[in-house]
Each structure stands twice: as C-alpha cells, then as structure tokens.
A and B are shown apart, each in its own frame.
Chain A
Amino acid sequence: MNLLGEIREAIKGFYSLAVGMGVTGKYFFRPEVTVHYPRKTVDNVSTYSGHVELQPGKKNPDGADCIVCGTCVRNCPSGCLTLEVLELMEENPDLEKKPKKIKKLKALIYDYSYCSLCGQCIENCPVTALGFSQHVYWAEFDRKAIKMDLVARLKDQLNAKKEAM
C-alpha cells in the first residue's frame, strides 16, 4: 500500500472515530437509565411473576381456599409441591350417620429451587388458591432456605396485615 493510501485510511478511521465519539458524547449528557440497587429499585416489579404462593381465600379469609385436591402437585413438571393433609373426622351430632372424613390443608411444601415458574399449578387449580407473588428480591446462601411451607407463609402474611391495621 502506498503512502497516499495509508493516509486516506487513517483519515477515514479518524472520521468514523469522530462520528462514534459524537454519538457517545451526546448520550453522555442524557439522564441516567440505570437504577442504583439496593438504594433504589425498579418500579415495575408488580408485573413480575415471583414464586408461587397461596392467595388469601375468598371463602376463607383466614387461610386459603384450597380444597386439597392435589391437582397442582400432579401437574407440576418439576415436582416441587408436596401436600400435607390433615384428616379429620367430621363432628357429627347425629350418631346414626357414619362420621364423614374431611380433609384439611396442613401444609403445602414448596421448593422454590426446583420451580420453573411455568404457572401450571396456578392455571389448573380449580379454586384459584394459588398465584404468583411479587416477592422478587430474594437471595439466600443455602438452598434449603428457599424451601418453605406456603400455608405458614400465608398465615404470617395475614397476621402482619392484621397488625398493620
């Protein structure tokens, strides 16, 4: 390559550099687009689907509406839900009749570390007792710490709500 060609190349290079610097220079004076976590957080967390949780029931405001059908457990692809059922004999003053068994939800163990947030459990629940939470900023050192009982979690939430009122 001759000298002239080299000079032309250098000029071209400098020119494209100047154009690029112009663009970055312009953006340098634009307002910041990032958020300094944890001092500030983004404002669209409400649309995010966090982990699965039991929703406060419509029929049963002190707990969940769950009817212990087990559909969510069967449908979960990752097997991260386990039901613990409390079987009670119905108190029946009528001694003639056989006492009926009623099932009550004791615990719904949910292992977040396996959950793929697919929503199969939520969509298939016949009474829409489950939903996605907005609990997004959650970090633990131990995997076991993100395995939880959803019933206890709901109870805590409801208690906290009551206290706040």
Chain B
Amino acid sequence: MTTETLCGDFYTHCFQAEQDKEHEGRLIINMGPQHPSTHGVLRVIVEMEGEYISRAEPVIGYLHRMHEKMGEIKTYHQYMPNMGRVDYLHALAWNWAYIGAVEKLCQIEVPRRAEFIRVITCEMNRICSHLVWWGAYLLDLGAFTPIMYSFDDREQAVDLLQMITGSRLTYCYYRFGGVRTDINDAFIAGTRDFCKLMKSRLPMYKDLVTDNYILRKRCEEIGVLPLEMARRYGATGPVLRGSGQKYDVRRAEPYSVYPELDFEIPAFPEGDAMARYRVRVAEMEQSVRIIEQSLNMLPQGDFMAPKSPKRIKPPKGDVYFAVEGARGKIGVYIISDGSSTPYRLKLRSPSYSNLSLFAELAKGTLLADAVSILGSLDLVIPEIDR
C-alpha cells in the first residue's frame, strides 16, 4: 500500500476518486458530524443530483471508545459502568444484556423479585427512550412543541428511576444476581401514577401529532423498507416491526419473567417512516401494560441473590445473551478463558445494523426525506461506534 492510499478519509477514497464525467456537476454535502439532525456525531456524505440523493454513505467512528477492548482488560465487575454508556437512552437494556450473559455463564440464580424489578425499570427506561426519540424525531421534521411535552413526561419517569438507581441517564443498576437497591413504596406509588399519566398522555400525543396532516405527509410512504431488505441487513426492533415482522426478543428468545406477562408485539406492514413511528408509540402503550402487570405480580423476597459472588471467575466457555432494547436486539457474547477478565467480549448493537440499511434506503429520495428516514431509524451513535 502506498502512502497515497493511506492518506485522506472516506470522502477522498470513495467520492473524490469518482469525480469523472458521470458524476460531474453533482453536489456533495456533509451531513454531520456535527449536524443537529444526526443526533450525535454521525457523518453522512450525500451526493446530490438536484434535490435528489444519488448516493448517501454514513461514515462512522467519530465516537469510538473501545468498549469491547476495555472488556478484555477489566474484571467482570469493573466492566459494568461501561454498559450504561454504550446506549445512553436505553442504558438498562445494555446493563441487562451484560449482566444476563455473565449470569448465564456462571449460572447465578436471580431472585424472582429482582426479575420483576428489572422488568419494571427496563420498561420504564424503554418509555424514556421512546419519548426522547419521539420528541427528537419531530424536532427533525420541524415541530418544536412535541419535545417539550415528551420531556415533561420523561422527567417523571427519570425522577422515579433516579429514586432507586441514583442516576438519571447512565444507569449502572443491575448487579450479578439481582439489582443494587430494592424498590420502595414511594417508587411503586409513583410508578402507578406515571402509568396513569402515560395513559392520559398517549391520546393527547395522537391528537397533537399522529393525526396531524402535515406530519403524515412527511412520514407516510417515505423510506419504504421492504421486509426482505430489513432481513438482509439484520434490522431488528421497531425498524423490523415497522416492516411487518413480529419479531421481539422478549417473545422469540424469552428471558426473565417476560413469558408470564401479557403484552402484544405491535407490528405494521407498511414499512414506511410512519409505520416505524406507530410501532414505537404502540410500544410505549405495551410497556405501560407490562409495568402495571409487574407491579401487581411483584413478589416479596430478596432483591439480590444471597450467594451472589463478590469476585467473578467464570468457567471456561462462551455465552451469548440477547435482550430487546428500544432499538432492537442487544446481544452480548463473552468468551471466558477462566480468568477474572473475559478473553473476548463482543457487543451486538441494533443501531449498527439499522444504520447500514440507510445507504440503500436513502437512494433516490429528497434530502428532506432522508432526514426523516434517518430520524425514523432511531439511531444512537455511541451504540454504533461502541
């Protein structure tokens, strides 16, 4: 390899090199890495032909923090805070994926009460995540008011989570064999109130936004994702369900107490941005249902397994554990060589797969629609880069 090929970035290699006759007169724009509509440091190089996109390439890596490599040098306990930082919006799902993998590897029993606490907090966090997405997506589309309402509601949930976890965003709450602190009566009462509040707010959201004619024009039949293509890219979560596939890890590979709970998996077959929007709004409703059921079923008992180990030294072997995050399937794969640090730790992040289909989806659309498509994928950039 000569030095010439080593110089330059993605643009120099893939776009500048192609400035021949065919591509003459095409405009190249950088969306990001500091563009407000990319929700983080994502850079999309867009080649425009008039108002239409002829090519859109996401460039990632601006936020790479070596989470996987860090896993190899930190002990199992020390790696826990990393999980809150991979996806800051649904931190508890990542917490759970990692803790669950280690528990599976070491065969640590989790008390039933802890399982329910995990379900309640994880679903709460899912609602928070969807609320942020809801507000931010509409902000992308030019509606400012909704984010104020969604943050108002999210505030209630975050206050409740703060009450038991001590943090507001980057939670580090689950522990091997349970959770860090037990939930108290104030939390239970507050959560019941929050469920009631959400039930009254969701119809308001529908009036304000979902039925809004202008919004529907920006979402309906925009970025139609056929199921076959979603499968090809390994899309999961609301993106896949927006294409009509009822795939949810909570049902497909049941974990914890989810099999005992009664909830539906919303799926819409249209495959456009509106379908993905509807899936997320419907999911909030289902999460409220799950929380209410779990509160009713919450047993007494330990919140932490009495024999939870202080030092983790798992047997040799490997393990894969997946949970359903707000953006899709979150998987953690650990290979253990029997020492106190993992030999290899692989994180499967849903946003990464969901982003990869953007290049194909955005081809031939208007630039303004590409913003809508990017928003409807609900990307969290730290999760893509890890």
A119 proximal to B (CB < 8 A)? yes
B4 proximal to A (CB < 8 A)? no
Residues of A within 8 A of B82 (CB): 77
Interface of A, helix, strand, loop or mixed by DSSP:
helix
A120 adjacent to B162 (CB under 8 Å): no
Contact with B along A31-69 (1 / 0, CB 8 A): 001000000000010011100000000000000000000
Complexed CA–CA distance, A22 and B145 (Å):
13
A49 adjacent to B208 (CB under 8 Å): no
How many inter-chain residue pairs (CB < 8 Å) link A and B?
A: 75
B210 nearest CB neighbor, chain A only: A16
- Supposing A75-B77, A118-B81 touch, asked if A13 and B214 sit within 8 A by C-beta, the answer is yes
Interface segment out of the listed B24-32, B118-126, B166-174, B343-351 = B166-174
A157 proximal to B (CB < 8 A)? no
A119 adjacent to B180 (CB under 8 Å): yes
Interface of B, helix, strand, loop or mixed by DSSP:
helix
Residues of A within 8 A of B166 (CB): 47-49, 117, 119, 132
Contact with B along A104-120 (1 / 0, CB 8 A): 00000000000011111
Contact with A along B210-246 (1 / 0, CB 8 A): 0111100000000000000000000000000000000
State the 9 A-B residue pairs at the shortest beta-carbon distance, nearest first. Answer: A49-B166, A77-B78, A118-B81, A116-B81, A16-B213, A118-B172, A13-B213, A23-B208, A47-B163
Can you offer 26 A-B residue contacts whose CB atoms are under 8 A?
A13-B214, A15-B213, A17-B213, A17-B214, A19-B208, A19-B211, A20-B207, A20-B209, A23-B204, A23-B208, A24-B208, A27-B149, A44-B162, A47-B163, A48-B168, A49-B166, A77-B77, A77-B79, A77-B81, A116-B84, A116-B172, A117-B170, A117-B172, A118-B81, A118-B172, A132-B166
Other than the given A19-B208, A76-B78, A116-B170, 17 more pairs (CB < 8 A) read: A16-B212, A16-B214, A19-B207, A22-B207, A23-B204, A23-B207, A48-B162, A49-B166, A75-B77, A75-B78, A77-B74, A77-B80, A117-B81, A117-B172, A118-B81, A120-B77, A120-B81
